[in-house]
């Protein structure tokens, strides 16, 4: 099976992350899927942003949890990247699900609950995905082991991935993910090895790698049979995968 290419926060190397501009560009560049991040607003609406605070990627400050969706919609979420994107807005999860519904794209939603453990985040997000009929092509991922336990109770019909960035022994890492009931692991590129990929695949879990931006690193992931990579540059990844496929023995 070919390695899938997920646009990390959209084509975030060329457009402001987690905005419609980044998602549209990733789609045009041929990504197989979109990776995005979800927090909850003050009025319990899931919105797309990587950080807990809005300081880095908007023209305001503070925590997402302290703003309503209406308040967040007033902010400029693009000028920090380039003045050309000054009309970019923070997106709700519903806006993303509406956009992706009729497109042949996978969706990876990272639940951003490793620093703020939002009440009922898993249930709220799961129910929104289900209402759009997208469970069959959505992956839910988290760094939070307690969140993984909660996902196992409500989301048995969609893949659940444990995010891992620390340096553990491979056997401990795989066993840890299995014990938590994960169906996949998402690892930092620095953890990647052929031994780890083989061990994960022996357990029938998937292994996906973040954040892979260098062509040489992309080719290494392809050669090891990783199930997917997450990249800020989906167009470059598509080209690298094409190069890799052309060099394989016929």
Question: Alpha helix locations (H) across 141-212?
Answer: 145-154, 170-179, 194-202
User: Buried b / exposed e across 232-242, counting CB within 10 Å, b at 16+?
Assistant: bbbbbbbebbe
Instruction: Let me know if 168 is a catalytic residue.
Output: no
> CA separation (Å) from 40 to 54, 112, 125, 145, 207?
13, 9, 10, 19, 28
DSSP 32: S
The catalytic residue among 14, 50, 170, 201 is: 50
Question: Alpha helix locations (H) across 111-233?
Answer: 121-131, 145-154, 170-179, 194-202, 215-223
| 28 contacts: CB under 8 Å, gap ≥ 6 | none
What residue has token string 């519903």? Answer: 94
Strand partners, 210: 188
Give the Cα-Cα-Cα angle 163, 152, 162 (nearest 5 degrees). 5
Radius of gyration of the chain (CA): 18
**Is the CB of residue 40 less than 8 Å from the CB of residue 52?**
no
The catalytic residue among 8, 39, 186, 217 is: 8
**Where are the extended beta strands (E) located within the chain?**
4-8, 33-40, 46-48, 91-92, 106-111, 138-142, 160-164, 184-188, 206-210, 228-231
d(CA 102, CA 110): 21
Active site residues: 8, 50
């Amino acid at each position: 099976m070919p390695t899938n290419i997920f646009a990390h926060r959209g084509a975030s190397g060329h457009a402001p992350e987690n905005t419609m501009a980044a998602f549209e560009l990733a789609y045009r560049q041929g990504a197989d899927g979109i990776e995005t991040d979800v927090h909850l607003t003050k009025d319990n609406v899931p919105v797309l942003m990587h950080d807990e605070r809005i300081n880095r990627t908007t023209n305001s400050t503070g925590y997402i949890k302290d703003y309503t969706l209406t308040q967040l919609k007033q902010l400029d979420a693009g000028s920090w990247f380039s003045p050309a994107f000054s009309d970019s807005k923070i997106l709700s999860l519903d806006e993303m699900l509406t956009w992706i519904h009729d497109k042949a794209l996978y969706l990876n939603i990272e639940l951003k609950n490793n620093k703020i453990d939002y009440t009922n985040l898993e249930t709220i997000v799961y129910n929104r995905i289900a209402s759009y009929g997208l469970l069959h092509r959505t992956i839910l991922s988290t760094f939070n082991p307690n969140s993984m336990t909660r996902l196992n109770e409500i989301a048995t019909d969609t893949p659940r991935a444990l995010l891992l960035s620390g340096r553990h022994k491979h056997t401990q890492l795989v066993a840890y993910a299995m014990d938590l009931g994960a169906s996949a692991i998402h690892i930092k590129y620095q953890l990647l090895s052929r031994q780890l990929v083989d061990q994960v695949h022996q357990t029938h879990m998937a292994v996906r790698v973040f954040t892979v931006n260098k062509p040489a690193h992309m080719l290494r992931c392809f050669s090891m049979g990783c199930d997917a990579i997450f990249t800020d540059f989906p167009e470059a990844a598509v080209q690298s995968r094409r190069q890799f496929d052309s060099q394989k023995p016929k």
